[in-house]
A = this chain, B = another copy of it.
Amino acid sequence: MYENYSAAVQAILKKDKIEIGQRIAVQKDSESYEGFLMPKSSGDANCLVLKLDNGYNIGIDIKGAKIKKLHEKRYVGNIKRELPKFDKNKPRVSLITTGGTITSRVDYKTGAVVSLMKPEELLYNVPELANIVNLDIISPFTKMSEDMAPDDWQKIAKIAATELNKDNKGVIITHGTDTLHFTSAALSFMLPNLTKPVVLVGAQRSSDRGSADTSMNLICSAYAAISDIAEVGICMHGSTNDDYCFFTRGTKVRKMHTSRRDAFRPINDLPIAKILPSGNIEIMNYYKKRSDGAVRADTAFEEKVALVKAYPGSDPDYLKFFVDNKYKGIVVEGTGLGHVPTSSKKSWIPAIKAAIKSGIPVVITSQTLYGRVNPNVYTNLRILFDTGAIPGEDMLPETAYIKLGWVLGHTKKPEEIRRLMLTNLVGEISERTDMRTFLN
């Protein structure tokens, strides 16, 4: 099992009875490291490969290193191999699994992250869930979130509506984190007359890792799903500690860090609630209250919408690509209050005019993410919005992209598209922005 490690490394590991997959501490020079000993696939045979809690593998030359075993058993061996015993008297909630890290584990043979054999294995280590909810598990497909596409949002929305219309309290959807906020925005528009909670949840670390976030995220999600918050939202770690989750509106949230557990942050909004793993819910913002009535999935969506970035040196001709390829809408990530190059040799104004003239609505958002597009302050903004481009208000570029696809799925009339894009439908546009929402 030590193959590809040098004889020197193997001797040390054998002497201390350290096996692949076990948690060890390594002291080297003035640095100390803690993580899981990984198998060696290639590279310097004298280097120990350690998976750190932040997800990175590092190689540490064995020379001069002090090694200490921290767990006797392989960490993966600590995971319970049975489902929580659900109680029919607890509130019924549907759990829809779609893939992602939350239904993955580290393969300690290869060091790669692989899908669980059965998605419901994600519950093995969370017996507490049985004290909160009676879960119905539905596993329509397994995809990493970078591979999600609009037709997946449609599938999920339809399944969620079907489940919500059963005699249950709410729905939890497990999902990869990379594009979780795209899906949460899509479901917000596709489930417009929601009467129960739809809680999206993922994990930044697979569940067999020391710093796994799956358990607390799932527990808080279960409390969100039986709460009276009838909104689509994302429920993930609010801080780097295991102290609380934020439940944040699906149109006002974004993955803001590649790897931190508290990567999902509200943008131009406060979280709807802070949810403690004790079940305590602290409301922080307005929300739609739980009510009666069937939920309808309204999934018509125009896929031919583009999201493009304007920046110094950017070529306006590439808007032509979208016009030539019969796109139906374009969302621009402008700079600052919504600018695009205007008075320079690479002005975007003629290309935007041409797109609008050929019937393609153009929505302007800001790459600053925080704040609000303003069509008035500067002359160049007036020139831009005189083309008929639609200001995206304080919508995230991602949210505006999804909203435009959804709106175009429902109407092709320019005035109606404009009206809908400027109207707050499901919380995507705030009338005012609370000062506390910046970098929260």
CB-based nearest B residue for A370: B257
Given A146-B335, A240-B435, A312-B179: A368 in contact with B263 (beta carbons within 8 A):
yes
Q: Is A378 an interface residue (CB 8 A)?
A: yes
Chain B residues whose C-beta falls within 8 Å of the C-beta of A382 in the assembled complex: 112
Contact B309 A258 (CB under 8 A): no
Q: Is A374 an interface residue (CB 8 A)?
A: yes
A interface, over-half SS: loop
Q: Is A130 an interface residue (CB 8 A)?
A: no
Chain B residues whose C-beta falls within 8 Å of the C-beta of A305 in the assembled complex: 313
Taken together as a complex, chains A and B put the C-alpha atoms of A262 and B368 apart, in Å, by: 12
Which of A16-24, A212-220, A273-281, A343-351 binds B? A343-351
Contact B373 A258 (CB under 8 A): yes
A385 CB → nearest B CB, Å: 13
| Residues 111-167 of A contacting B (Cβ, < 8 Å) | 111-114, 143-150, 152-153
Q: Is A30 an interface residue (CB 8 A)?
A: no
Chain B residues whose C-beta falls within 8 Å of the C-beta of A337 in the assembled complex: 55, 178, 258-259
Which of A190-198, A285-293, A314-322, A355-363 binds B? A314-322
Taken together as a complex, chains A and B put the C-alpha atoms of A371 and B263 apart, in Å, by: 9
| Residues 252-309 of A contacting B (Cβ, < 8 Å) | 255-260, 262-263, 265, 303, 305-309
Q: Is A439 an interface residue (CB 8 A)?
A: yes
Contact B311 A315 (CB under 8 A): no
Contact A366 B336 (CB under 8 A): no
Q: State the copy count for this chain.
A: 2
Taken together as a complex, chains A and B put the C-alpha atoms of A152 and B378 apart, in Å, by: 21
Q: Is A78 an interface residue (CB 8 A)?
A: no
Contact B259 A150 (CB under 8 A): no
Contact B336 A177 (CB under 8 A): yes
Contact A398 B335 (CB under 8 A): no
Can you list 17 A-B contacts with CB-CB less than 8 angstroms, sorted by A residue number? A56-B376, A57-B376, A143-B343, A144-B339, A144-B380, A146-B341, A147-B341, A149-B313, A178-B339, A256-B370, A257-B368, A257-B370, A258-B366, A307-B311, A308-B309, A315-B325, A321-B321
A-B contacts besides A177-B336, A258-B371, 16 pairs, CB < 8 Å? A55-B374, A57-B377, A113-B378, A144-B380, A145-B335, A146-B340, A146-B342, A153-B312, A179-B312, A182-B311, A183-B312, A257-B371, A258-B336, A258-B366, A318-B318, A321-B321
